[in-house]
Structure formats: C-alpha cells, structure tokens
Structure 1
Amino acid sequence: MIALVWVEHEDGAIKDATLATVTAAAKLGEVHALVAGSGVGGVAEAAAKIAGVTKVHVADDAAYDHALAENVAPLVAAIVRDHCDYFVAPATTTGKNIAPRVAALLDVMQISDILSVEDGDTFTRPIYAGNAIATVKSSDAKKVLTVRTTAFPKAAAEGSSGSVEPVSGPGDAGLSSFVGAEIAHSERPELTSAKIIVSGGRALGSSDEFHRVIDPLADKLGAAVGASRAAVDAGYAPNDYQVGQTGKIVAPEVYMAIGISGAIQHLAGMKDSKTIVAINKDEDAPIFQVADIGLVGDLFKLVPELTEKL
C-alpha cells in the first residue's frame, strides 16, 4: 500500500504539520510525498530526507503556487488514481481545502481529522466537538484522509534518502487566482507549533486590556498568544489567534487559559495539551474540569503579579 502525503511548505520551509502527517501515513504503508509550486527543488530535497519518506513527487509549476485547491486537486487525484492507495493531508486550512476536492474527483468519501490508524481501512476521529470518538471503517478502494496533527508525533526531519521524481499535472484550471495575502508577522512562535501558549478570553474586556495583560506574560515565557472565539468575535484579538473547534487545534506542553470559561468548542481545540493552567474568577467555570492547575481570582491582579515574578 502507498500513501501520498501533501507537503505543506512556506518560504522554502516544510511546516511541522507535514511531519505529523508523515507519521500517520507511515502506519498505512509506503510513504510518498507531493511537493507542488514553482522553484520548489529545495523543498523537495528536504521532503526526501523526512524519516519514512521513500519517494517525492515534484510538480514544479507556477500554477501550483499558493496551493490553490482548484489547481492542486486534479494533480493529486491523477497521482492517487494511478499510483497510490491513500491521500493523506494535514487537517490545516490548506489540507481541508484540497482533500474534499480530491475525494470528489475520486468519487470516494473523505475521512476527516483522524486521531489514529487502527488498520488500513479503519480509523478513529472525534465527533460532537471531541466528546465522543467514532471508529470509522471505509471500503473505498482509494481513501482520502485528513490528519489531526496534534494526535501524532512528528517524524524526524532527517533520516531518509527518498528519491525525487518530477511529475506534471493539468496546470491552471482557470477557476481561481491568487490576489494577495495579508499575513500578520510576529516574533512569537507559531500557534500550532508553540510549546507554550497563553490564551485570553472575553473576561479581559477590551483589546487594550487583552494585550496589556496577555502579551507581557507570553513574552516572558517565550509563548504564542491565543484567544477564545468570544475574544476574537469581540475584536480583542485577530482571527489567527483563535483556538477551538472553529479555530486552531493545539496541543502544547503548557496551555494557559486566562479569563476563558471553557465552552465545549474551545475545549475541543486545546484539551490535548500536556498541562493546562486556568485563571478565572468563577470557581465553577467548566475550564477547571480539564485544568491541571487552577487559580481562582481576579486575572487583572493575578496575571501581572505572575508576570512580575517570572
């Protein structure tokens, strides 16, 4: 059995989500990788070194820049149809954009957000915001999967010497075009790969207070900054800070939830964290049910005091 992994990359570097996806794919059989874009030779060479990867397909074409799903999906479908048994993508924004189109082109059901591989046909995935785990078995000849990357360890970035093979595809489908990107740059770690995350909730009251309380603590800890959906919807923090079922799924070493009540949708995005620290004035807040360390009190006093003592 051969599993084709979609390699996410940016500015010539492979994203961590790809490494966890390779680990999941290795449980299915031989791992091939697909690198698409223009001038991606360096990315392909790096992908060939990922432990477990035996072959890298390289589609070097400007049509695949920016991973436009309308262009990438036919390329993936053609490779899977002729050479592979599985298509495996990380359950990131890009992966979740490409995979459903591939499944439609192959006329199979997609299995989303898998947590484990039981065997070649059987997988587990969360349902009801992670409150139940479903075991799903597929009889499709070709299988399309997205992987919850926090559920799998990252494959070693080096340790293999896979072959690199050029591949061509249909090119530009003419259905979409890249107009531009407004990317928020930060010196802090990326949210999905950070070892420590400090998240703020609606209780912070305003954007000014959010940044006054949360940012100094995050800077002291070398942490990424996250936010609940309520805080993002209220305009306290930008969308790319959002953690939860409709935001980013994270599993850092330490997750600090400050002024976050712990709605089920938020817990779905962070409850796999190794250590959860909660600070909230409501001792009955649901967040304390999953917290390893809980502190009941006024966050506007406790957090600056904690920051000062670090």
Structure 2
Amino acid sequence: MPEVLVYVDHTDGAVRKPTLELLTLARRIGDPVAVVLGTSTPSTAALLADHGAVRILTSHASEYAEYLVVPKVDALEAAYTAVTPAAILFPSSAEAREIAARLAIRIGSGLITDAVDLRRERDELTFTQAAFAGEFTITSRITTDTAVVTVKANSAPVEQSPAPGAVVQLDVCFGELATGTKVVSRTPRAVSSRPELTEAAIVVAGGRGMNGVENFALLESLADSLGAAVGASRAAVDAGWYPHSSQVGQTGKTVSPQLYIAAGISGAIQHRAGMQTSKKIVVVNRDPEAPIFELADFGVVGDLFDVVPQLTQEIIDHQG
C-alpha cells in the first residue's frame, strides 16, 4: 500500500478531531504517516497510533511557533521527500489551507480544497467536493504523482485502528524565507465548553427570527443539552445579537456537521453556502415558504419560542 502523509493539527500536543478524521480517510487509500510539528507529548503519538498512523514523523523546532507558516511548509516538503506519498492530507483550517497551497506549488502537485470524500479505485485516487454553494458534487483526480488535499471537518467518522506508530525524527532544513514573518504576540481565544463551530458534530444556529440577543439563550440551552456548537446567520450577526466568529455562511464559516438545527433562519443563499453539506438538517420556522425548508430533512412549521424550549426539555428528560 502507498503511504499517505497526514498533517497533524494540534495545540501543544493535544490533537484536534479533524486530524483523527483524516487518519480514517487516509486508511482508505494507503498507510497513514502522521507529521507532528512543534511541541508534542508521548500521549500524542499514542493517540495517532491508536487511530492508524503506521509511522509518526516529528520535528520540535521552535521556528514553528515563532514564525508564520513557512517553517511548516519547509517541514512538509522534507516529509514529502522522505516518504514520496501518494497524497498529503490537511484539515481545512485557514492555516492548513495556506500550508497546503504553498506546498503544492513547491512540489509541483495538483491541489484539491475542501474535499468531503476520497477513494481509491483501480489504483486511481478520486476526490469529492461540493461546489457552487453545494448545488453540485464534483469528483476529481490529481494527474501528478502526489495529491495535496484539504478536507472539510466532519467528512468522516473517527475510527480507531491500532497501528505501530513508530516515532521517527524528521530532519528539516529551513530556507531563507522561514524567518521572514515573526509572531510578536498572541491573544488566547476565549475558553468555551462548547465545541469549535467548524469541528462540531452538531450545530444549533439562529437567525433573524431570534428577535434579539437575549433570545439566543434558548439556542444555547438546546446546544448544551446536545453537546453542540452555536452558530448564527449573517442577519443575526449584523444586528449585533451574536459574535462574527459564530457566523455560518459564505462570508462566515463553513460547517458540515452530522446534525444542523436552524431556528428562525430564512435560508438565504449566502447562509446555505455555509451549511448545506450537513448530513441531517432540521428546520424550525413559522414561515412554511421559507427557502431553508428546501434543504430540510425534517421541518417544523411553528414558533421557535414554543418549539425550541420543548425540544430542549425533551432531550433533557430523555437523558435523565
């Protein structure tokens, strides 16, 4: 089986869920080789091995934290040279997409962004994307020897598959541009008990129909009962009811959870572009003609201020 490089997205060794999804996908097309850059721990390697990494390439240079992007591109190029993989997989975070694009240029590879599936058929790799706000599904292949691919979060389940996970030190020589842009300060993101919006398996989102910032507490209660993230439409964000970091849509974040619950959202094309690849969509809206119902797997025509509290209570009672 050919080897597949998987870029590990982590914070001080704590591996983020999309990386474990990538390892699941990588096993469909070859033997996963994880690449860990920066500070890590023995538990990092153990977790990656438990999810299918046959080898783990590590590099602990301080440049990865002190400078932007380019040192990581140098490291991925070194990993590519050492392994000659059939594909290199990245999560679809902003930083990972930039690393992937720069790497593809360096190694002369084709690039697939925001893939939602990948397969090996008759020794040929194919990649599936959703395009034009999800109106079309595209199946593509890379004509170069190595494909560079970013994959949307929640495109595959996390599946354990214990593998050797041998840890190997990766030799990296940084180029002249690696220290071109220095990180001078960092501001920690506000800590939340809810999952990251783009990684959440369940998202509960509200729109103009929420009628005010104080009413988002209803959605937060529902989200907390489900272990979900909270999102908002652009209309709700522009009205100042919820932060821009939670905006779902063409000018916000793209999500693809297992379950998306839309409350008081009409379904403008800009919002649909950010969520319509969700696996199951539940809509609560009192307007039966709202465009969002065109996407719904399940729809409730009703007042969200009646429906959402009842739904939350039903979930809590069931859990009890």
How far the C-alpha of 1:101 sits from its partner, in A, is 1.0
Unaligned residue ranges in structure 1 (runs of 5+): none
For 1:135 and 1:66, how far apart are their aligned partners in 2? 38
Distance 1:89 1:269, change over 3 A: same
For 2:296 and 2:67, how far apart are their aligned partners in 1? 38
CA RMSD of aligned residues (A): 2.5
Partner AA of 1:230 in structure 2: A
Q: Please say if residues 50 and 155 of structure 1, whose CA atoms lie closer than 8 Å, have aligned partners that are also in contact.
A: no
The answer to whether structure 1 residue 248 and structure 2 residue 254 are counterparts is yes
For 1:116 and 1:105, how far apart are their aligned partners in 2? 25
For 1:204 and 1:48, how far apart are their aligned partners in 2? 42
Q: Which SS does the other structure have where 1:27 is aligned?
A: helix
The answer to whether structure 1 residue 91 and structure 2 residue 97 are counterparts is no
How far the C-alpha of 1:272 sits from its partner, in A, is 4.2
Q: Given the alignment, which residue of 272, 295, 302 partners 1:267? A: 272
The answer to whether structure 1 residue 5 and structure 2 residue 6 are counterparts is yes
The answer to whether structure 1 residue 167 and structure 2 residue 170 are counterparts is yes
Partner AA of 2:41 in structure 1: G
Q: Which SS does the other structure have where 1:199 is aligned?
A: strand
Partner AA of 2:69 in structure 1: A
Partner AA of 2:265 in structure 1: I
Alignment of 1:109-120 (within 5 A): 109-119=110-120, 120=124
For 2:312 and 2:255, how far apart are their aligned partners in 1? 26
For 1:273 and 1:115, how far apart are their aligned partners in 2? 11
- The residue that corresponds to 2:53 in the other structure is 53
Does 254-263 or 238-247 show the bigger shift? 238-247
For 1:304 and 1:44, how far apart are their aligned partners in 2? 40
For 2:67 and 2:205, how far apart are their aligned partners in 1? 30
Once the two structures are superposed, what CA deviation does each residue of 1:221-242 show, in whole Å capped at 9, x if it has no partner?
4432111233234332223323
How far the C-alpha of 1:80 sits from its partner, in A, is 0.8
Distance 1:34 1:297, change over 3 A: same
For 1:76 and 1:55, how far apart are their aligned partners in 2? 15
Q: Please say if residues 8 and 14 of structure 1, whose CA atoms lie closer than 8 Å, have aligned partners that are also in contact.
A: yes
Q: Please say if residues 29 and 119 of structure 2, whose CA atoms lie closer than 8 Å, have aligned partners that are also in contact.
A: no
- The residue that corresponds to 1:207 in the other structure is 213
For 1:165 and 1:303, how far apart are their aligned partners in 2? 51
Q: Given the alignment, which residue of 303, 308, 318 partners 1:303? A: 308
How far the C-alpha of 1:48 sits from its partner, in A, is 4.2
Q: Please say if residues 204 and 228 of structure 2, whose CA atoms lie closer than 8 Å, have aligned partners that are also in contact.
A: yes
Q: Given the alignment, which residue of 144, 147, 152 partners 2:151? A: 147
For 1:67 and 1:126, how far apart are their aligned partners in 2? 33
Q: Which SS does the other structure have where 1:5 is aligned?
A: strand
- The residue that corresponds to 2:140 in the other structure is 136
For 2:90 and 2:201, how far apart are their aligned partners in 1? 23
Distance 1:307 1:118, change over 3 A: closer
For 1:66 and 1:50, how far apart are their aligned partners in 2? 30
Partner AA of 1:234 in structure 2: A
How far the C-alpha of 1:244 sits from its partner, in A, is 3.5
Q: Which SS does the other structure have where 1:35 is aligned?
A: strand
- The residue that corresponds to 2:62 in the other structure is 62
For 1:307 and 1:115, how far apart are their aligned partners in 2? 31
For 2:151 and 2:144, how far apart are their aligned partners in 1? 18
Partner AA of 2:195 in structure 1: P
Partner AA of 2:162 in structure 1: G
Once the two structures are superposed, what CA deviation does each residue of 1:173-212 show, in whole Å capped at 9, x if it has no partner?
1122232134021122333444432211122233333x33
Unaligned residue ranges in structure 2 (runs of 5+): none
Distance 1:249 1:84, change over 3 A: farther
Give the length in aligned residue pairs: 306
Q: Please say if residues 110 and 145 of structure 1, whose CA atoms lie closer than 8 Å, have aligned partners that are also in contact.
A: yes
Q: Which runs of 4+ in 1 moved over 6 A?
A: none
Partner AA of 2:228 in structure 1: A
For 2:125 and 2:311, how far apart are their aligned partners in 1? 49
For 2:94 and 2:192, how far apart are their aligned partners in 1? 19
Partner AA of 2:171 in structure 1: S
How far the C-alpha of 1:95 sits from its partner, in A, is 1.8
- The residue that corresponds to 1:189 in the other structure is 195
- The residue that corresponds to 1:294 in the other structure is 299
How far the C-alpha of 1:14 sits from its partner, in A, is 0.9
How far the C-alpha of 1:168 sits from its partner, in A, is 2.8
Q: Please say if residues 67 and 181 of structure 2, whose CA atoms lie closer than 8 Å, have aligned partners that are also in contact.
A: no
How far the C-alpha of 1:52 sits from its partner, in A, is 2.4
Q: Which SS does the other structure have where 2:191 is aligned?
A: coil
For 2:226 and 2:26, how far apart are their aligned partners in 1? 34
Once the two structures are superposed, what CA deviation does each residue of 1:125-179 show, in whole Å capped at 9, x if it has no partner?
12111111112122112221111232222231x6222110011323481122232
